[in-house]
Structure 1
Amino acid sequence: MNNQLKKNRITILVIFAMSVIPFVIAWFLAENPNKVKLGTNNGELITPPVTTQASDFKGYDAFSADNIKELKGHWILINVIGQGVCEQACQDGLYKTQQITLMMGKDIARIRRLALLLEPANPPLPKPWQEDARLLKAVPSQTLKDTLHHSIHQSEPGGLLIMDPLGNLMMQYAAGYDPYKVRNDLSKLLRISQIG
């Protein structure tokens, strides 16, 4: 009889624990939302996405002005260059985006690269990047510049933004990002995208 009583008590405790533990976990996660990373993306989603217009980008040099229409309908990797001079972190970011596009293989035609010069200097970029035939250079409109300062955390050079084919800035990466993780995110986006 004592054995049966012990088994019954254990059963009641297990049932009680099974009904209480989920509520305790849910309460903990509600109080500490930063403890859980939702989704499989490596970059930080920009919520809500920042909508841009074609008129927000003005080609910096003759090559970029002639080809600025390439931004429409493509996925864009944007290196935001805030200072007048592109230092080492900025150059590393430009190099990484170049490598990411090469890693994309057959999807390379769906991607464009853009150096967004917030405060253009003369020259705006070091010589190798000025001669890069696949890198567009643009100056943002004042509206877009203000939006970038208020909505997006691009305070340090070398970060990256991703813009979708409809002109929405939708994902960002801090300086020092891993290009392989960006490639993984971009591959997923291109695989499920019905546009661009």
Structure 2
Amino acid sequence: MLLLLALVCAAPVIVSYLMYYVFKPVGGTSSYGQLIDPQHPIPAQLVVTDEKGQSLPLKSLEGKWLMITVNGSDCEEQCVTRLYYMRQVRVLQSGERERVVNVWLRTDDKPVSDVIKIAYPQPDTRMFVADQKAIASWLPVDDGTKLTDHIFLVDPNGNLMMRFPKNPDLKKINADVAKLLKWSRIG
């Protein structure tokens, strides 16, 4: 009887030891976006040009959470949808929205339509012109997708940390960003 009682008391310890050291569970992820591992810091040589024609390193935006999309100046439906989602996610952060900056990296210097400029004004959405090759070498994509298919998230330390899928779900992006802003005190 004493041996049976000792076995019942020791069972949770034995099972936990087996689960931790022997049966290594494959855990899922609680984030919607794909975490980028290893992180990719913003390249120091990545220089962008703002609407006024002034050049600045993209690293100068460090200190804020950056939601980045890449597209040409001829913003078609998918591009407008990504810009809309980025704006909505930023607005939904209410008191924390100042910690997030939306960045549209344009791959050409053609003029942006007035409709888009009015719908996504500065400084809520920063529109920069950048070299497509430099962007492509920094931002990773999955097989079967293009650079222009994703929304990317850069942390305040300047590290690319997350990529959202091609046809994203606004509610899930918002949940990821809200969780990051809640638990992170940087930026």
- TM-score normalised by the shorter chain: which range applies? 0.7 to 0.9
Asked whether 1:159 is paired with 2:150, we answer yes
Q: Is 1:94 aligned to residue 94 of structure 2?
A: no
Describe how 1:36-185 pairs up with structure 2 within 5 A. 38-53=28-43, 55-62=45-52, 71-81=61-71, 83=72, 85-118=74-107, 120-123=108-111, 125-131=112-118, 132-133=121-122, 134-140=124-130, 144-148=134-138, 151-153=140-142, 155=146, 157-185=148-176
| Number of equivalenced pairs | 162
Q: 2-side partners of 1:159 and 1:166: how far apart?
A: 21
Segments of 5+ residues of structure 1 without an aligned counterpart are 1-17, 30-35
SS at match of 1:62: coil
Residue 76 of structure 1 and its aligned partner are, at CA, apart by 0.6
Which amino acid is the alignment partner of residue 117 of structure 2? Q
**Conserved in 2, the CA contact under 8 Å of 1:100 and 1:182?**
yes
- Residue 146 (structure 1) shift: 4.0
C-alpha contact (below 8 Å) 2:109/2:129 kept by paired residues: no
2:115, 2:149 → 1: CA distance? 17
Query: Structure 2: any 5+ residue segments left out of the alignment?
Result: 1-14
CA RMSD of aligned residues (A): 3.0
- In structure 2, what is the equivalent of residue 194 of structure 1? 185
Letter in 1 for 2:63: G
AA in 1 matched with 2:177: L
1:40-94 CA-to-partner distances (Å, cap 9, x unmatched) read 101011111111146524133118868x78722000110111x452111011100
Give the whole-Å Cα distance in 1 for the aligned partners of 2:126 and 2:66. Answer: 10
SS at match of 2:38: strand
* Greater fraction of residues in helix: 1
> % of aligned pairs identical?
24
For 1:190 and 1:152, the matched residues in 2 are separated by 25
